[in-house]
Amino acid sequence: MRSYKEIKKEIIHLSQNCEFIRAATTNDLIYTSFKSPPQLAESEQDVGIFWSVNTKMNKICGVNNIQNELFTGLHGVENLMGWLDKAREHPTWDRNSEKLLLTTLEVIHKHLIDHGAVLPEPLLCTSKEKSNATSTSVTKNPTSSTSSVTKGVKGLPSRCPNATPGAPCTMCRVDQTTNKKLFRCHCGESITTPGGRTQNVLVHWRELQLEKSMKECPIYCVK
């Protein structure tokens, strides 16, 4: 997976030459959602700044929103990327937060290309070679933004890709060990949740979905 700096540069370039999307205004959700600096609410101290970042990002690039909410310009994509720059400076931002963010940015990147945006010729093949394939249709997002989602480790079975509204995954469970909680995924993987944070589990689920996507829809370098 490419670095944040690399994909940021490509997304801004793609958004600037994508005829499908218009320039954002200060009335658009992509501006109003990211006009204020990222902040961590007192009630979210245990989950870190990524929870807030993910919630806001899903308003714009969730599978049901990206078609209508992704706009370009100083009040659009460029404003969003500047906001993410600040979020990544937060003390609670870690490697797993970075992995999850990059996965979301790959969705934006692919959406722009699917709607006619192109990279400069020298970058085209390089981008394809570095990028992990993302499926053209996302069947389930374990971190979708919804008020009914329970935060923290105990709520993870309800956020599993195999869960449905009101029906948590019965194969996932949380075990309490001597000093920490251990999450047992339906796939058989045991995942640590340091400090009660859920990022390790979310990264695991994203990686499972990416592996599935690459098997179903491989993307080859355009010659």
| Cα gap 144→191, rounded to integer Å | 21
pLDDT for the residue 134: 46
pLDDT for the residue 205: 77
In angstroms, how far is CA 96 from the centroid of its own chain? 11
| % of the chain exceeding 90 in pLDDT | 37
Helix, strand or coil, per DSSP, at residue 72: strand
Q: Where are the alpha helices (DSSP H) in 40-189?
A: 49-61, 66-69, 77-87, 95-114, 121-130, 156-159
pLDDT for the residue 44: 77
pLDDT for the residue 130: 55
Digit-coded pLDDT (tens) for 180-190: 678 888 888 88
pTM: 0.59
Digit-coded pLDDT (tens) for 163-182: 887 788 888 888 877 666 78
pLDDT for the residue 121: 65
The list of the chain residues with pLDDT below 50 reads: 124, 132-150, 217-223
Could you report how far apart the first and last alpha carbons of the chain are, in Å?
A: 20
